[in-house]
Structure 1
Amino acid sequence: MNIFVVEDEHWALKEMEALLKEYEPEHKIYAFENGEDAFEHVKKVKPDLIITDITMPRMNGLELIEKITEIDRSIKTIILTVHDTFNYAKTGIQLGVMDYLLKPVKKQALFEVTDKAIADIEKDQKLKREKEKWTINQLLFSSMEEASESAEINQKEYVFLYLLIGNWQTNTEKDHFLSELNLKNIMHKLGLPLDHFWVVHIDSRRKVMLLPKNDHLNIEHEFLPKLYEYLCAEGQVHMCYLNKEPQIELKDAFESAHKALTREKLFGKSTFINAKKESTPDKDLRSIWDIVRFLELSIEKGESARIKSYIEQLIQQLRKIVPTQKQLQDFIVDMNYAILFKLRQKKTMALEIDPINQNIDHLNHMVTFSELEKWLHTYFYQLAETFSPKDVAPKHLIPKVKRWVEQDYAKNITFLEFSDAHHVSLSYLSREFKAQTGMTFVEYLTEVRIKKAIELFEAGKERTVEVGELVGYHDPKHFRTVFKKVTNYTPKEYKQKRVKWKE
């Protein structure tokens, strides 16, 4: 905080200034030899605490305090005096003086009074900021009529910043990089010369920041790009801003920012949005519709490998184009309707799968194109199983075998069980599996199980017997043997090395 010291005796002022250096750099000390100079400087720098002598020429201490309180009653004051009299104390109380020190000022007394004043000011400032933050939060969702007592805050001029981490319904850690503490640390690192700003919590993924306008800093063109770059280094973030003029209510500013972010937010990539700019035109997706036509044919024939390939191509094109999430959502719904329409024309069977448009909200949980790819794989494989003929060629069953293993690895599954269920020769299916994966069914099952066991150890599971049972090995000795064969370590050795690796 800013501390003004006002004393007309030169050496007394120098002595106090030297003593108060103890409070730097956390607090900044300003020294003045008369009340007029101190009062003039208030126009440039707002003090939080003023320690002033009473008896001074031209403008005495009490006159200085009276003028200061007319400007801002939150500024606290301590008076220095040789007059230990009731009249001065009475006048000081009327002016809101916190305390007084008798001259000559003793070092210990100065520190005790200053420490108490700083603690009281910090407490008052904290309560004030909490009240202001609560008021701002209410104003984001309330009109002036509903909160008329907050008109002063509502009518101020700010740079209004709306931040979203990941996506609208992404699961986020409690202390992610949009926490208030982290944002304040970033502001400090970037050297933002603002006395204060507000960070308002909307939910675990969204924050609103209000940055008071500063005539000496171009916040929009200088500071915000730096802040955006800094946040992008931490993770995927979407930033939308606008200049909130005095006549614009906070509620209206929030609605404008939310609409702009909903409209312009990219999928799979961070976004920097000026809410006042015109909407970005939709991207050209015609090249992707050619892939969709081939995807529809593969779904009809139940060609799992081709379905996987076309979904990968589709995702690859979307990565290059980077559509807005709104356009992507519309595209996925339209694509699904187009595929279902073609399949229903060719088939007479009823649809036994939930249409994707009923689950499109899942898109709001995703952050990356890899997550989208996995989701589309699951949906279109299920669709293919519903529509495709039952006598699928063995070569097209291999992706289904892999999905079956990855889903039921903890059970006592065999390749014979799968071949019987699909009326396919076990030897033929085994040859096809080896040709497509480069390993036998047992080798693939073992690889999946040991990979899952490692994930469980990494997640904190310590009991080897329990981990073995969770991945399908009910004989602890056999599990230890297989684990060492695959990883070159016994489970015990792996856990010990994992601790060393983390250190």
Structure 2
Amino acid sequence: MYKILIADDEGIVRESLKFIIDKDFNDCEVYLAKSGRQAIELAEEHRPDIALLDIQMPGINGLSALREIRSIEPHIRALILTAFDNFDYAKEALELGATDYIMKPIERKKITEELTKLIHDIDMERQKRKDDLNIREKMEAVVPIIENGFVLSLIIQNEYGYSGTQYRSLLNLTEEYGFITVFEWGEGFEKEAPGNPVGASVRAQKFAAQMSGQIRIFFKAYLSDMMGNKLIAAIPWTSADMGYTERLRMIERMRSLVTSLKEMVGVDFKAGIGSVQPWSTMIDSYQEALNALRHGMRKVTHIDDLMVRNDAAKQQANLRRTMLEVLRRGDEAGTRREAEMLLAWYMDTRNSTEADAQMALLEILLEGCRIASEQGKSVQSQAGKELLQASTPEEMRQIFTTAVLQLVRDIAAQAPKQNSVIQLAKEYIQNNFTSELSLEKTAQQVNISPYYFSKLFKEETGTNFSDYLTGLRIQKARELLRKDPDRNIKEISIEAGYSNPNYFSRIFKKCTGMTPTELRDILKSGGDTEHPSGE
């Protein structure tokens, strides 16, 4: 079917052209207009393929009508009809995209030839569009296979060098960098493990297409097939690094995605995010994403929020630090888990020799003994000597595991749990609370997101950041007043971290039950202020 619009103010011209079209062409639907305005209205209603427009019509002329019609239907093919041999008209018609400029009186042969060419062009365009759709349909069936192959080439050791570049070419992937996100789902999460992973995996399979589509709404992503209750996404990035602010925005977007996936599938989701890497070393980002997923306390965790990095030299230091952190907290389950990871890393001959592994494990044992000693536990262990005498990797593994589990039990019996990140934050607050300080600034100092830091701080300290900071500042102000009751309240306010003395006085009274001035008067009179009534 070809839709043809004829616009001419002469009825005989309109009817003659319709007669020619009806006789010489099949499967054409013709619409007649006697003015430019009516031509525009018919074009808007019927979206014609071809327009035959007279220039001289009452009201809106043919050229103005063509301009409006092209805004409605940009691909329309137009023939301009006129009785005036005017170069300016012809030039404007061609600039507006008219195919040709036909002089009246119109010859049947001429109009038939022009329409035949236009219909041929339309047929060619329609066939091309059909072929493109067929190719797209076939590609849509093949692209998931290519994407899965690409993701697997990134996470399998040495595989990218063989096939990664070819996959990138097929996917038209121009970015040089990216990062890995691992999604995991289950019926709730207990001790970092998903509940009923098999059942959740079966349920998610029913939503596989919708899940893929949802992920692509939030990110440009190349996805693996579902791997049980996990799915891996390779997300391109434009630069070799991700700034702090960019990371926060990305995490918030990922959080929204995870929430939408939960609503879609009806099970709980978590996401672990690795750091930005070149494609050739994306396996490092994958390992980081797994670590973030395994250690993360929230539904979305970036590796930088854990301070556990999996790149060569840093990995060794951070594995060691994480091992000592769980020891210091008295976390037996965490110690067992981290010991397994640490031993796996050291026993891999790519990372260290057997002699290096022995010395590194010995250093960790000695540091663990020091931690136990600091917390009041006297440790006398032969494990260090036995470790140096071990003759096989398996013997080293057994001695080390037994020793650290005994250490963590001793430490758990002596000391409360701590979190090294929050400890660092508390030290930073202690050193800076008298200056301008915010939750966001402190979170950035320990390199985790404000959202994650706020939750972690409350869980570890039992109070929120704002109340903790206020407590330190008011305590400082009280100490200053006790030391010198004659000091100016404004000076004390500033030294305690408050630039506004009036605000300082209100907060002081809220916390202590009295104003700074009232406390000063009591101090001058020799009263006891160690336990004011407001506390």
Which structure is larger by alpha-carbon Rg, 1 or 2? 2
The structure whose RCO (Cα within 8 Å, separation 6+) is larger is 1
Q: Normalising by the residue count of structure 1, what TM-score does the alignment of the two structures yield?
A: 0.35
Task: Give the TM-score of the pair, scaled to structure 2.
Answer: 0.33
